[in-house]
Amino acid sequence: MPSKARQAGFTLIEVLVALAIIAVAMSAAVRVAGLMTQSSGILRDRSIAMIAAQSRMAELRLEGRLPMGVKVMECDQGRLLLRCEQVIGGVENGRLLKVGVQVFDRSKETPPLARLETLLNRPQD
């Protein structure tokens, strides 16, 4: 009588090891996809905040009067609730003013999403 031939195929342990490797790879892929989505949202919010800062700076240039000190105002852009803080101070030579605008997310306490600074000529009184 001939000897029994070994049947071809995978053992249960080989199948379980393969499934464990696939599960680890899939969880890593899902995590990377989540991080990419979160990063694109942060970049979008920062871009919108920079637009708000540029708009506020343009408004200050057009107003022609630059009141010294700090002023805080809401500067929402679409669905994004933003707070703009403008700081206007003198520079040593007296002819220029340092103007800074920072934009924060009003819905949470975080570092500024955007920051913009420039020097402007002091308006003639």
- The 10s digit of each residue's pLDDT in 38-86 is 888 889 999 999 999 999 999 988 887 788 899 999 998 888 899 999 9
- Check residue 105 and give its pLDDT: 92
State the Cα–Cα distance between residues 50 and 82, nearest whole angstrom: 11
State the Cα–Cα distance between residues 89 and 86, nearest whole angstrom: 10
Q: Could you tell me the two tokens for 59?
A: 């408004």
56 belongs to a structural domain: yes
Q: For residue 25, what are the domain limits? A: 12-121
48 belongs to a structural domain: yes
6 belongs to a structural domain: no
CATH number of the domain bearing residue 85:
3.30.1300.30
21 belongs to a structural domain: yes
Structural domains in the chain (count)? 1
Residue 69: C-alpha distances to residues 33, 34, 46 (Å): 44, 42, 25
4 belongs to a structural domain: no
Cα dihedral 18, 20, 26, 29, rounded to 10, equals: -110
User: What is the pLDDT confidence band of residue 112, given thresholds at 50, 70 and 90?
Assistant: very high
- Check residue 92 and give its pLDDT: 66
